[in-house]
Chains A and B, each alone.
Chain A
């Protein structure tokens, strides 16, 4: 390999106005491969089509099923083009290809968002800590394989913050190329678009890994610590007697500087720092005294509560009307990111005193400050001075006002409020009840309300319906006092050594990764119920972001918090919070490290082989029950390319296409036996790659099934089948109808269910199969060349 970013020149003599220099030699960048003994695999720094063959193998088995969200294309001036049912647009594109193009656009947005975040973070940390600041995400606890995703894709192991810049150069280039392929008159094949979607997801995983490695290393976040501290979460944990600074977003430097300023000014006990979305998770990783309000959907309710005296937004998942909402409670907003300026005046170069005075006196609604240190000072001083004036001024009405307001409800015949609600909540009935003085109906909406506020926009009488729901739920909001384990970061190598075998052999029945946002169909408790169910069954449950919060904001039937019940180690029965959105690659990284540490597979630029290993051996499933954003789409697509299935909630069907296997097509479920080169039927394992479930019950049954892998030993398959059958019988009240496709030998059968299952198998004419050393890649067959050539 040659250097991508190496400039090297030598001047025997340089004569300028400033100086005369002899023998000047300058090197910028470095030569790849200098510092790592492991040889390069076949695909370091893959470009758009490098891994296309692998993608096509997956996409042949998991064919896209398109669910068009829009029948037209309006991306160029030849349109709008009607693409209904086989029609082609002016550029020649059909509806399916258009959907795959939109999916790619979404994943490019998602990947660019994480990569842009990573770039900003790395630049800031280099400025603060220096280019040579080491990457250390847990060396002291034996994390020798740092950056598994970067090693696998990029082919290098970054050692310093400066090394990360070069990785980002590569991923930024790839996103640009991917985006270019969506232009009018470029890619014209839906499957090739899908391959590029996978590429975007893989690139996104690298970008996220860079971001989290940088912040863990520089800020000293928990380093692969299974006993990361339990921190407080919920609106009820905020001390409202103190000035409160609310941070919203994903990019943590402003929050860090707020916490540091408070420490330096001796104000750590005098001011509350609380956050919403991933920036709050990362703030608690930096300082466990920071508090988490809740997931993305808690924004409107918390801002309107007036508890925050200052709001600081960085980037991503921030309500774009934050300034309008904050104005109503007289809360100033400090924007801190170039990507999200909110129309505010840039005050970066102004003295802090002037900015604070303007905010406190109400001369400005907010300020745009790009310098995180100045943000820290301004936010804290403003909160201190403003809190006594604001007196927590809120716009959440009291019960009496709600009853009066509800009395003005027009009870519209066609219920625009309900029809605007993503979850179709019975708002009109609740308002009718409230008008009679009974607020229970409104309070009952709280759990399933995703906090979007669309009901208010739709209301013909402009009633603040969301505020009514919050006001009616005041008691339960006060009781929102929970714990969440702070994000631990990476998985230790020693943990992988301990569980790698049991996972690959199937004795630990699977890894369930609960990730993503909070667009839940019936509230966040469902995520916690799923987590608790699988942890109890001794799967390894991993989590991040808003899902990690939802797991924390729950008590089981015994009143216990799941993080207090289940340990944080990557082991059977653990609930492992890796951290924020950009921590997701630690979950992918764990699967990758299983291939490396347990199976001794080479990582460096060896994507296809590792993905083949994971797909056939590592029983991991992602569940993004409330996925909302383009980022969630690109995170999922990063898992697809590794062959890891992802389940989304019913709202996830709006991602416009699924990747579905067909268990009734026997021909789709053959692999090579690497020992013999024979093609062997392995059943639909895993059956789908991207799948929207209608209910949590369906998701749990499917997740148990999707953990099965061709490599499972009989003992492992027996355990997995037992869970699948048990969940199926519990929720569906019938036996599964596909056991004949999942049982390979009689030894696979759960002992207590053997007779019952054998009768079913006999009716289906079941015949046993061998258990192969599975691979989809003929080149990995360990037979003599002659036989391999025949394939």
Chain B
């Protein structure tokens, strides 16, 4: 059941996301990508666990990978409170719409991306957005960093508990630093 869509009716089609069984998959995918970015939605705050802030993890992962963060909705307000790391902000649909355009010049004017990591957008909205990208952005690979299985991503974590999710994020960070 851990690799079934989190919301029960969101049955995916013939092409479904591969399961991320080890955090090294994420590290490998990002390192392999020519240009990657991270899209963070407002539900990132739901991932907070005690003293541990999910946003801080995202910032550290993005900083270490040297990839840009796009904060959707009003999430940018949380980032600017916490970090000087440059944050782009755009609605979830706007960034997705640009990611499917082969002629988009990118956030920095240097061209389209070949990998996008998503986290924190409401499950059903992220589901539809990833579906749009699966169909319309053939050169883009997507990773769902959420703790719920997103069938339309290229790669997705299975349905996991919050503490497991933090363990994975720590491992990702650790592996980037090691390498």
Contacts and interface: CB of A to CB of B under 8 A. Distances in A.
Q: Is the interface of A mostly helix, strand, loop or mixed?
A: mixed
Contacts of A65: 93, 96-97, 100, 132, 136
Interface stretch (B50-58, B117-125, B168-176): B117-125
Looking at B80, B97, B159, the one whose CB has the most chain A CB atoms below 10 A away is B97
Contacts of B74: 695, 697-698, 701, 731-732
B24 interface: no
Contact of B13 (A66, A72, A458, A521): A72
Contact of A694 (B91, B101, B134, B138): B91
A82 B93 contact: no
A658 interface: yes
Given A414-B1, A695-B74, A733-B77, A521 B122 contact: yes
A383 B171 CA distance: 66
Contacts of A702: 91
A109 to B, nearest CB: 20
Given A694-B42, A694-B122, A68 B131 contact: yes
Contacts of B41: 694
B159 A414 contact: yes
A254 B93 CA distance: 44
A734 interface: yes
Nearest to B6: A419
A724 B93 CA distance: 19
A96 B76 contact: no
A732 to B, nearest CB: 5
A84 B15 contact: yes
Interface stretch (A330-338, A572-580, A646-654): A646-654
B89 interface: yes
A653 B93 CA distance: 9
B2 interface: yes
A747 interface: no
Contacts of B18: none
A789 interface: no
A180 interface: no
B8 interface: yes
B21 interface: no
A67 B138 contact: no
Given A69-B128, A458-B8, A694-B42, A731 B96 contact: no
A372 B93 CA distance: 47
B110 interface: no
A84 B101 CA distance: 18
B179 interface: no
Contacts of B12: 71
A458 B1 CA distance: 14
Contacts of A424: 6-7, 122-123
State which size class the interface on B falls in: 35 or more
A84 B91 contact: no
Contacts of B132: 65-68
Contacts of A653: 93, 124-125, 128-129
B74 to A, nearest CB: 4
Interface string B5-24: 01111001111000000000
B124 A422 contact: yes
Contact of B77 (A86, A651, A731): A731
B155 to A, nearest CB: 16
B72 interface: yes
Given A67-B132, A424-B123, A694-B42, A85 B138 contact: yes
Given A654-B128, A734-B80, A698 B91 contact: yes
Given A67-B128, A72-B14, A96-B135, A693 B8 contact: no
A678 B128 CA distance: 41
B2 to A, nearest CB: 7
A650 B122 contact: yes
Given A694-B121, A698-B74, A419 B8 contact: yes
Interface in B102-126: 104-105, 121-125
A569 to B, nearest CB: 32
Given A67-B128, A697-B74, A734-B76, A660 B97 contact: yes
B81 interface: yes
Interface in A648-698: 650-651, 653-654, 656, 658, 660, 662, 664, 691-695, 697-698
Given A65-B96, A694-B91, A86 B138 contact: yes
A698 B77 CA distance: 12
A694 B94 CA distance: 12
A411 B54 CA distance: 26
A83 B135 CA distance: 9
B92 interface: yes
B131 A733 contact: no
Contacts of B27: none
A420 interface: yes
A732 B159 CA distance: 31
B73 interface: yes
A229 interface: no
Interface in B142-179: 159
Contacts of B80: 733-734
B86 to A, nearest CB: 11
B135 A66 contact: yes
Contacts of B73: 693-695, 697-698
A458 B101 CA distance: 40
Looking at B1, B9, B73, B97, the one whose CB has the most chain A CB atoms below 10 A away is B73
A660 B101 CA distance: 12
B134 A84 contact: yes
Nearest to B46: A424
A416 interface: yes
A307 interface: no
A67 B132 CA distance: 4
A70 interface: yes
A658 B124 contact: no
B134 to A, nearest CB: 6
A703 interface: no
A654 B131 CA distance: 11
B94 A660 contact: yes
A660 B122 CA distance: 20
A521 B8 CA distance: 17
B97 A692 contact: no
Nearest to A426: B46
Contact of A691 (B14, B93, B128): B93
B93 A733 contact: no
A539 B80 CA distance: 30
B124 A654 contact: yes
Given A69-B128, A82-B14, A694-B125, A95 B135 contact: yes
Given A65-B136, A84-B13, 13 more contacts: A65-B97, A70-B13, A71-B15, A82-B13, A85-B136, A96-B136, A419-B8, A651-B125, A694-B41, A694-B92, A697-B73, A702-B91, A731-B77
Nearest first, the 3 closest Cβ-Cβ pairs linking A and B are: A71-B13, A67-B128, A694-B73
12 contacts: A71-B13, A71-B15, A71-B135, A82-B13, A83-B135, A420-B7, A420-B8, A650-B122, A653-B93, A654-B128, A731-B74, A733-B76
